[in-house]
Amino acid sequence: MKVLVTVKEVAEVADDFEIEGLDIPERYLEYDLNEWDDYAVEAAVRIAEDRDEDVDVVAVTIGPERSEETVRMALAKGVDRAIRVWDDALAEADVLDPTTTARIIAAVAEDEEPALVLSGVQAADTGFGATGVALADLLDMGWAAVVNDLELGDGEASVRRELEGGVEELTTVDLPAVLTIQTGINEPRYASLRGIRQAQRKELAVHSLSDLDLEPSLVDDALTLSGMAKPESESDATIFEGAAGETTAELETVLRDAGVGAE
Amino acid sequence: MSDVVIVADHRRSELRPVSYELLTAGRELADATGGDLHAAVVGGDVERFAERLDCEGVDAIHTVAEGEEFNHDVTAAAVTALADALDPGAVVMPNSVNGLDYAPAVATRLSLPLVTDAVAFDHDDGLTVTREMYGSKVETAVDVTSESVALTVRGGEWPAAGGVGDADIEPFDVEIDASSIRSTVRGFEEVGAGDVDIGDAEFVVSVGRGIEEEENLELIEELAEALDATLAASRPIVDSGWLPKNRQVGQSGKVVTPTVYLAVGISGAVQHVAGMKGADTIIAINTDPDAPIFDIADYGIVDDLFEVVPELIERFE
């Protein structure tokens, strides 16, 4: 059985950052494995560990060379091999339609023919939350979005989908399928030193769009970034200033006025 | 002139509030291009839903009576077929958990670009969608250069449509191929039952990622005790397994409406705010002065919680 897990290296912005034009300068950015994908990787690796049959876990990412460090972390956690897609055309794109992202990953998945694809619910940076379901549809697979519990059966997966307001939907999905994995589904492991050493020797293939028989013009999709700004603060909060001794004195007054501490 | 189709959101026999907000967002888009506003309702008690959705400004409502509950295979097929028939300029869907369970498939089947989680539209020169990135830290403008587009809109950003409309309500016939149904909903479960219902609490002390380590939770437990408040948390604390799910405040957790909500080390992501914005008095303690929690707070302290909380405990002990 083969499990494909989609991973993305995402940028996190520092608390105090600036925007220059349509970019945030590198000095304000830190890169890491997307949080949701960390849970998806863990779910994939656990499937490999728990099943009697041989399970091949393959990670796929779209990202520049820098992202190999992040992909190696997934390999260190137990992913068997990885595929990185990159292209000059992708380097120039400012915002990718999530269906375009899905088309690129679909080209990889068509070669790999996985029985199961796990992707994070969303990427922490772009936050589209759409790639996994688009991917499933392009691959003509079943799917379930926002999964926080997963049990693989014979030809089907039993999942819980986390809906709003503390309600979970119990759903059965035919395999092959794409499941988008929600945070909290498991406890992602830390990579062991041994895992990190092994990861250096694992296969990490790099493909351009043309390697995947995709036209670079695919990236030139209908979405263009035209503005980027910090949201205007709507805050009209009263901020207490000073040392903790002073600020907590003022806060105490507010709390007691609201009835806190009244026996 | 291009028409707009919105797709209502329903769950367990009720229309969800975002459905009415979709009508407002859809009307705005239709007005910009001089088109008609169509609403689609797929599954559930479609006739009752259609009557409810017949608000001011709705031109037509299309009902697809297929199944009691939401099923993404059915909804994707029905919405795709309806959009094929109407050829709208925009298909507008909810950015809910279920919306995101079919909207991407609608986009790929219709070969439409997809912009999710829209919070505003601008129509000056074609359609520009405002949406957030980096967990609400950045607002981006995305230009849509195609004739038609698939959109999902965030709940709570547009006012709910009201009034009484005069829409044509008609069933829409669609063949749903049984072999295309690959998922079955077996049931629902309420989570977060347990020792306490944070929804009933008068005072809530809520803790977030700023607490850093599980062992530091004790400090917040002490604070809750000193204030005689109920302890709650934001998602990362529950994801880490440090507190049970019934303590989680937010979109996927509980909605709380206490007299006082004290948020400690919580940045205030939109999913969290959805669960506590109804509190009478909101107080935030956070090191980041730009944290979105201060947008909704009435009072705030910009400081290290490990400095502030011990002092505060002392004042109430």
Query: Span B223-229, mean pLDDT?
Result: 96
- Numbers of helices and strands, H then E, in chain A: 7, 13
Polymer length of chain A? 263
* Pairwise CB contact (< 8 Å): A171 & B185: yes
Give the separation between CA A191 and CA A5, rounded to whole angstroms: 17
Residues B203 and B283 in one domain: yes
Could you write out the DSSP letters of every residue in B8-46? --EETTEE-THHHHHHHHHHHHHHHHT--EEEEEESSSH
How many domains, in total, are found in chain A? 1
B168 shares a domain with B54: yes
Q: Are residues B135 and B266 in the same domain?
A: no
Residues B151 and B258 in one domain: no
Q: Residues A62, A85: contact at Cβ < 8 Å? A: yes
On whether residue A72 sits in a domain, the answer given is yes
Question: Does some domain include residue A242?
Answer: no
CATH of the domain at B236: 3.40.50.1220
In a domain, A235, yes or no: no
Q: What secondary structure does DSSP assign to B55-120, as a single string?
A: -TT--EEEEE---SS--HHHHHHHHHHHHHHH--SEEEEE-STTGGGTHHHHHHHTT--EEEEE-E
Same domain for B95 and B219, yes or no, is no
pLDDT at B46 over 70: yes
- Across the interface, whether the CB atoms of A258 and B260 are under 8 A apart is answered yes
Taking 70 as the pLDDT cut, the residues of chain A under it are 263
ipTM of the assembly?
A: 0.94
Residue A82, both tokens: 């990885």
Determine the pLDDT at residue B192.
67
Is A15 within 8 Å of chain B by CB? yes
Kindly state whether residues B136 and B49 are assigned to the same domain: yes
Nearest-CA neighbor of A204 among A111, A80, A120, A115? A80
B270 and B162 in one domain? no
Is the per-residue pLDDT at B132 higher than 80?
A: yes
**Interface contact B134-A162, CB threshold 8 A:** no
Please indicate, yes or no, if residue A41 is contained in any of the structural domains.
yes
In angstroms, the CA B216 to CA B213 distance is 5
CB-based contact B238 A136, cutoff 8 Å: no
Q: Is the dihedral of CA A88, A93, A98, A103 positive or negative?
A: negative
Q: Mark whether B176 and B218 lie in a shared domain.
A: no
Q: CB pairs below 8 Å between A and B: how many?
A: 273
In a domain, residue B186? The reply is no
Question: Is-contact A3 A55, C-beta < 8 A?
Answer: yes
When pLDDT is cut at 50, 70 and 90, the band that residue B193 belongs to is low
CB contacts of B99 in chain A (<8 Å) are: none
CB contacts of A170 in chain B (<8 Å) are 185-189
- Residue A102 located in a structural domain: yes
The enclosing domain of B72 has a CATH number of: 3.40.50.620
Helix A98-112 and helix A131-138, axial crossing angle in degrees, nearest 10: 50
Specify whether B139 is located in the same domain as B222. no
Interchain pair B191, A228: CB under 8 A: no
Residue B55: its pLDDT value, please?
A: 97
Cα dihedral: A130, A131, A135, A138 (round 10):
60
d(CA A242, CA B101): 48
CATH number at residue A32: 3.40.50.620
pLDDT attached to residue A263: 61
Q: Which of B180, B213, B247 is the last residue of a domain?
A: B180
Measured between beta carbons, the chain B residues lying within 8 angstroms of A244 are: 303, 307-308, 311
Q: Tell me if B138 and A13 make a contact (CB, 8 A cut-off).
A: yes
Q: Which residue of chain A comes nearest to B230, CA vs CA?
A: A260
Does the beta-carbon distance from B235 to A19 stay under 8 Å? Answer: no
Q: What is the pLDDT at residue B1?
A: 56
Average pLDDT over residues B251-272: 94
> Which domain, by its residues, includes B207?
198-316
- Residue B162 placed within a domain: yes
Question: Could you tell me if residue B112 is inside a domain?
Answer: yes
Task: Find which of A141, A260, A263 to mutate to test the B interface (most B CBs within 10 Å of its CB).
Answer: A260
Number of domains in chain B: 2
Question: Which of the residue ranges A49-58, A173-182, B177-186, B259-268 would you say has the lowest mean pLDDT?
Answer: B177-186
| Residue A237 forms part of a structural domain | no
A 10 A CB-CB count for B202 gives 15
Assess whether B214 and B284 both reside in one domain.
yes
Cross-chain residue pair B239–A184, CB shorter than 8 Å = yes
**Chain-chain contact of A228 with B140 (C-beta, under 8 angstroms):** yes
Q: What is the pLDDT of residue A184?
A: 94
Does some domain include residue A245?
A: no
Quickly count: other Cβ atoms within 10 Å of residue B137's Cβ.
Answer: 23
pLDDT at B124: 86
In a domain, B278, yes or no: yes
Residues of B in contact with A13 (CB under 8 A): 134, 137-138
Q: Please give, rounded to a whole number of angstroms, the shortest distance from the CA of B168 to a CA of chain A.
A: 31
Among candidates A183, A235, A259 on the partner chain, residue whose Cβ is nearest the Cβ of B295: A235
Residues of A with Cβ-Cβ distance to B96 under 8 angstroms: 164
Determine if the pTM surpasses 0.80. yes
Q: Is residue A53 part of a domain?
A: yes
Provide the pLDDT for residue A166: 87
Q: Are residues B175 and B220 in the same domain?
A: no
User: What percent of chain B is modeled with pLDDT above 70?
Assistant: 99
Does the beta-carbon distance from B307 to A249 stay under 8 Å? no
CB proximity list for A218: less than 8 A, separation 6 or greater: A89, A100, A103, A104, A209
Condensed to tens digits (0 to 9), the pLDDT of residues B77-130 reads 999 999 999 999 999 999 999 999 999 999 999 999 999 999 999 998 899 999
Question: Which chain A residue shows the shortest CA-CA distance from B144?
Answer: A223
Which residues 159-188 in chain A show a CB within 8 A of chain B? 160-174, 177, 183-184, 187
Domain edge (last residue) among B125, B154, B180: B180
User: Rounded to a whole number, what is the distance in Å from the CA of A104 to chain B's nearest CA?
Assistant: 13
Residue B188 in any domain: the answer is: no
Which residue is closest to A136 within chain B, CA to CA?
A: B105
Report CA dihedral (B250, B254, B258, B263) to the nearest 10 degrees: -40
Give me the domain span that covers residue A101. 2-219
Number of Cβ atoms within 10 Å of the Cβ of A154? 5
State how far residue B241 is from chain A, nearest Cα, in angstroms: 8
